[in-house]
Amino acid sequence: MAKVQDFLPGVKKYRPDADEAAVAGIVKHLGIALANPNGDSALVSCSDPSELERVRNSWLKKKLGRSESDAELDGAIKSVCETMKDDRRKGRVVFYYLLAENYGVLSDLH
């Protein structure tokens, strides 16, 4: 089972003062998808349109309850892709954390 400690260093690379409870909430939400931290389900591919659509629909709309236009949500996703551009392998927990932070909803993940 995935542990917060497995993913916290990745988040802290971008946010040294990361909200550990929010990271724990993301890890819990993703559950089995994180069973293999190096597997495809634990990573986000910014070059795969279907993957980015899944992030928009499953994470931003469904889990975070965002109601902005698809274009605006896609802009937030693109911004995180840009932030993480130097990471060849973009961890899903880090990616989701940065999106939640962007919308000011980290405390909702506790």
Give me the CATH number covering residue 77.
1.10.238.120
pLDDT tens, position by position, 49-103: 999 999 999 999 999 999 999 999 999 999 999 999 999 999 999 999 999 999 9
Question: Are the C-beta atoms of 33 and 16 separated by less than 8 Å?
Answer: no
Tokens of 1: 């089972």
Which structural domain range is residue 97 located in?
A: 4-109
Q: State the total domains in the chain.
A: 1
pLDDT tens, position by position, 8-61: 999 999 999 999 999 999 999 999 889 876 678 999 999 999 999 999 999 999
DSSP assignment letter at 41: G
DSSP assignment letter at 108: G
Sequence-ordered list of residues with C-beta below 8 angstroms from that of 87, at least 6 positions apart, any chain: none
Tell which residue, 48, 60, 50, 45, has the closest CA to residue 92. 45
b/e for 47-76, b at 16 or more Cβ within 10 A? Answer: eeeebbeebbeebbeebbebeeeeeebbeb
